[in-house]
Amino acid sequence: MKKIVMGTAGLLALGLATSANAADMRPAYKAPPPVVEAVYNWTGFYVGAHAGYTWGTTGYDLVGGPPSGTDFDVKGGLVGGHAGFNWQTGVFVLGIEGDIDWTGLSGDDNGFPGGQLDKLDGRWQGSIRGRVGYAANNWLFYATAGWAFLNVDYNKVVPGINQTVNDTLNGWTAGLGVEYAFWGNLIGRAEYRYASYGGERFLFTGFDRDLRRTETHSAILGISYKFGGPVVARY
């Protein structure tokens, strides 16, 4: 009987030891690695090209005479380039940008009574602006404002005289836009801008013209290339 009890106890001890060893051999459970989310980083220099359409109004007065109140429409396409720098802090993006465009902006008074004709042709335009934006990963919604300039040819026709004077108008511009970053460092954009240029005196032979405020609206599409890494990691 004693031998049976001792044998049974030995078998139980051997079974417990075997179970413990088997438990030690099972692989330990490890928590899954944290998920890494790719977030677009808007900080960096960029260059790009754009095209669009501009429309607006201008007007003139004869210097030394009563205000004529003559206004006429101007419109035309534009194509150009831009460059700038963005700095992102949290979801906010601050930046500065400059652009220069060729513009086909043009319009005239369609024949003022008395045989006179005033015509305005845009040659080139540009701006230097600040930008403030809100970033939602690959999307950037922004407002922009700054100094604007517009180089024009002002053509005046009177009987027997056809004169053209070139000058640059100065003013300000402001607008809203949205950008989307795709294919790594390529960024597409759509933008609307308003510009207001102050008056300028044009000196013609025998008389002067005061060009009053010129106002334009521009709808622009563009693409940019941003230098530097496109994404940062967020856990």
Q: Report pLDDT digits (tens) over 58-74.
A: 987 776 666 666 788 99
Whether pLDDT at 31 is above 80: no
> Distance of CA 86 to CAs 134, 180, 198, Å?
12, 14, 30
Q: Look up the pTM and report it.
A: 0.79
Question: What is the pLDDT, as a whole number, of residue 95?
Answer: 98
Mean of pLDDT values over 35-52? 86
Q: Which of 81, 78, 73, 74 is nearest to 103 (CA)?
A: 78
Q: Which of 21-35, 51-65, 220-234 has the lowest mean pLDDT?
A: 21-35
What 100-103 contacts at long range (C-beta under 8 Å, 24+ apart), as own/partner pairs, is 100/124, 100/125, 100/126, 101/50, 101/125, 101/126, 102/78, 103/54, 103/76, 103/77, 103/78, 103/150
Question: What is the pLDDT, as a whole number, of residue 11?
Answer: 39
Mean of pLDDT values over 74-94? 97
**Residues 185, 230: Cα–Cα separation, whole Å:** 6
Question: What is the pLDDT, as a whole number, of residue 45?
Answer: 97
DSSP for 11-72?
A: HHHHHHHHHHHHHHHSPPP-PPPPPPEEEE---EEEEEEEEEEEEEEEEEEETTS----EEE
**Domain spans of the chain, in order of start:** 37-234
Mean of pLDDT values over 215-225? 98
Of the candidate CATH numbers 2.40.160.20, 3.40.50.1950, 1.10.10.350, 3.40.1390.10, the domain formed by 37-234 belongs to: 2.40.160.20
Q: Which of 97, 88, 100 is nearest to 44 (CA)?
A: 88
Question: What is the pLDDT, as a whole number, of residue 28?
Answer: 56
**Residues 66, 113: Cα–Cα separation, whole Å:** 16
Residue pLDDT, tens place only, 129-159: 999 999 999 999 999 999 999 999 988 887 7
Mean of pLDDT values over 157-172? 85
